[in-house]
Amino acid sequence: MVGVAGPLSRRSPGAARRFIAGYSLGLLVGGTVIALFAAAVAEGLGSALPIRWRELAAGALLVGVGVADVLNRTPHVMRQVPQDYARALEPGWRGLIWGVDLGLLFTTQKTTSLIWGALVATMFLNPSAAPVFLVGMVVASVVGTALGTALNHVPGRAFLSGERMFIRTVRILSGIVLICLGLLQIA
């Protein structure tokens, strides 16, 4: 979102502030929906399965998403937030809709499976932390976007030319970390 808000802040600082405000609110709404769902699932898992079964399930899922990352098959929906909104909506509403969409986690592309690993580990191993974790993740995302916009950090051509290699490297490292964590959980 910094890539959208950064250029917008150069053209119209007020529009950029409205976009960030809408985006922040949208992320909170989308993140709250997922947090409530995750909390309900986590609570059900916590009461239905003994801890050792949850550890094994979490470990297997962590290894699974880690292998997917190493094989360059990070699980995600192959779509971006609809770009038509950029032209049709005012900045605040555009930010709100994009924020909700991204806050739902399941409706856009992912670079790595780290978010899935963190969600699995939280839900299976510490169910009471699921809502706190997700709200913290949303807050971190909002702060990161706001700081990136304020600092006007939009990747330059030098970074973009190496972006595929960078993403591939990060995905492999993510996969290795997730596999190691999953195996530790199973052991």
| Span 11-31, pLDDT tens digits | 777 888 888 889 889 988 888
For residue 169, the enclosing domain spans: 2-186
Q: pTM of the prediction?
A: 0.76
10 Å Cβ neighbour count for 30?
Answer: 24
- The total number of structural domains in the chain stands at 1
pLDDT of residue 161: 60
- Read off the pLDDT of each residue in 52-80 and give the average, rounded to a whole number: 88
Residue, of 149 and 89, whose pLDDT is higher: 89
Secondary structure of 47-107 as H, E, C letters: HHCCHHHHHHHHHHHHHHHHHHHHCCCCCCCCCCCCCHHHHHCCHHHHHHHHHHHHHCCCC
State the burial class of residue 173 (Cβ atoms within 10 Å of its Cβ: 0-12, 13-18, 19+). middle
**Band (115; pLDDT cuts 50, 70, 90):** confident
